[in-house]
């Protein structure tokens, strides 16, 4: 998406739609009042007739008939003033972008408001809503008229817009990589295999001198001692990959080395502990954490953030078959600990175990992992907040602040030592699941903690937020992948580089 930031008066900006935001109940902001005067009071007439509404996500268009330069004026609802936040503006921007595409518009101009969010916060929200809102899940449809069309050009104007030009550029880069993540998570499992995911990582590294790429295949994974990743992958004909991207920018801090770990099960049938057939097609999304980590690395490199980052993405399929690992097997992870397998559908924590230990042993000082790990997280938190677990309260708080600023929201969960008893095994150092239907996200995080070594670590269970069963009532109005984690990880890396 092309972005222009101009100091031109809004009435003189050339665009298919000139948009501004309104609250509920509707009161025209100063920019709206001036536009209403120029269009002979027709905006006020629409308010009086009940057509122009301030409800969150509502968009109302008015033809200007040449009275100003833009072809249409668009008013987007933010909802009640007391409930407004950056997500309200993202949703407003998405509603304008989607409606603009419906009427053939390809360019949108936004007038920044004069109160509420800062100019930089507004610019970020408007850019993200405009880029993420019209995202099209139907890349595999053959009829072009069934496809959503993106906004090609976004113009930002009004108070403070010029000073926020760099924020606009940054937000556009991050949103573009977020949508690239969505493409891979939405991709069918016959297209997005572990090998293809590794190829994408290699292609990303090829674009930036600051990125280096490495990929381990089945023999190398076994030779390295990654018994957990090897076990999960052995039931599939599609070979696994351990994918690594290392970002080493000039002038980066030497005392911080951020480790990003992402679960990438490109299809999860549950192994021999087979999942139910209902909605199994959505298990192509079990690589949402890995895709977010790889996309975030692309964004971090493009933004040239001055912080060292290592991404480690274990990727495989979890399939039943004659070679599949079994309940009752005891496997040895990279750190030497033994694990009794009691449920082959608790596979994500196994592949993460090897990846986490490898990340710490590679020198990461701070680690965060992302995984679509437990169905219980979806039940507990729905599709808006991810669960955040950590061995370090300060690191958890730091990530939570980055999450809220980015729009990828997270909520801190407890991780008390008493949960360790849930994974006690009579035969091995631990088992990978519990027979009790209690605290599943917590005991999964406690399992991962066994493999993080010394230093701050956090786990984000993104099972509800990475892939939506249905659209949310915001700028994610359709189901499918959200790209959760890309914006959060970039924000985290940015803050660590400060």
Q: Which residues are catalytic?
A: 275, 349
Task: Give bridge partners of residue 4 from the DSSP assignment.
Answer: 155
Rounded CA-CA distance 488/408 in Å is 6
The SS3 assignment for 234 reads coil
CB of 168 closer than 8 Å to CB of 11:
no
* Residues in CB range of 385: below 8 A, 6 or more apart: 409, 410, 411, 464, 465
Positive or negative CA dihedral for 421, 427, 433, 436? negative
In 381-491, where do the E strands start and end?
386-390, 410-412, 430-431, 457-461, 467-468, 480-481
Buried b (16+ CB within 10 A) or exposed e, 346-385: bbbbbbbbbbbbbbbeeebbbbbbbbbbbebbbebbebeb
Q: What is the token pair recorded at 273?
A: 């502990």
**Terminal Cα-to-Cα distance of the chain (whole angstroms):** 28
Any idea what the Cα angle at residue 131 is, between residues 130 and 136, rounded to 5°? 110
Q: No. of H helices and E strands in the chain?
A: 14, 20
Rounded CA-CA distance 424/429 in Å is 7
């Amino acid at each position: 998406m092309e972005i222009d930031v101009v100091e031109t008066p809004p009435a003189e900006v050339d665009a298919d739609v000139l948009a501004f935001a309104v609250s509920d109940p509707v009161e025209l902001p100063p920019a709206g009042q001036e536009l209403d005067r120029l269009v002979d009071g027709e905006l006020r007439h629409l308010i009086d007739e009940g057509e122009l509404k301030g409800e969150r996500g509502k968009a109302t268009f008015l033809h200007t008939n040449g009275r100003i330069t833009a072809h249409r004026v668009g008013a987007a609802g933010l909802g009640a003033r007391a409930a407004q936040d950056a997500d309200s503006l993202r949703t407003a921007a998405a509603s304008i972008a989607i409606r603009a595409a419906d009427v053939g518009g390809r360019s949108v101009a936004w007038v920044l408001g004069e109160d509420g969010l800062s100019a930089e916060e507004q610019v970020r929200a408007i850019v993200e809503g405009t880029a993420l809102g019209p995202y099209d899940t139907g890349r595999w449809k053959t009829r072009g008229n069934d496809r959503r069309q993106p906004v090609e050009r976004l113009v930002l104007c009004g108070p403070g817009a010029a000073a926020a030009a760099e924020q606009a550029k940054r937000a556009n880069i991050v949103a573009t990589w977020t949508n690239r993540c969505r493409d891979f998570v939405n991709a069918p499992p016959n297209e997005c295999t572990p090998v293809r995911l590794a190829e994408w990582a290699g292609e990303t590294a090829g674009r930036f001198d600051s990125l280096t790429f490495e990929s381990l295949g089945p023999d190398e994974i076994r030779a390295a001692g990654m018994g957990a990743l090897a076990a999960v992958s052995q039931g599939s004909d599609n070979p696994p990959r351990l994918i690594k991207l290392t970002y080493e920018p000039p002038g980066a801090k030497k005392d911080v080395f951020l480790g990003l770990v992402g679960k990438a099960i490109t299809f999860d049938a549950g192994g021999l502990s087979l999942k139910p057939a209902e909605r199994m097609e959505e298990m192509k999304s079990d690589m949402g954490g890995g895709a977010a980590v790889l996309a975030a690395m692309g964004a971090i490199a493009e933004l040239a953030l001055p912080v060292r980052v290592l991404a480690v993405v274990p990727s495989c399929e979890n399939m039943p078959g004659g070679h599949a690992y079994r309940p009752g097997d005891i496997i040895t992870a990279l750190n030497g600990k033994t694990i009794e397998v009691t449920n082959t559908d608790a596979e994500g924590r196994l592949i993460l175990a090897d990846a986490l230990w490898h990340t710490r042993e590679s020198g990461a000082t701070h680690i965060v992992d992302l995984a679509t790990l437990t169905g219980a997280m979806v039940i507990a938190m729905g599709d808006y907040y991810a669960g955040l677990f950590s061995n370090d309260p300060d690191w958890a708080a730091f990530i939570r602040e980055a999450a809220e600023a980015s729009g990828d929201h997270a909520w801190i969960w407890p991780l008390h030592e008493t949960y360790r008893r849930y994974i006690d095994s009579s035969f091995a150092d631990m088992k990978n699941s519990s027979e009790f239907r209690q605290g599943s996200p917590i005991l999964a995080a406690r399992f991962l903690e066994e493999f993080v070594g010394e230093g701050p670590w956090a786990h984000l269970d993104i099972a509800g937020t990475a892939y939506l069963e249905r659209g949310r009532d915001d700028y994610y109005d359709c189901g499918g992948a959200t790209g959760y984690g890309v914006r959060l990880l970039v924000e985290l890396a940015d803050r660590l580089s400060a």
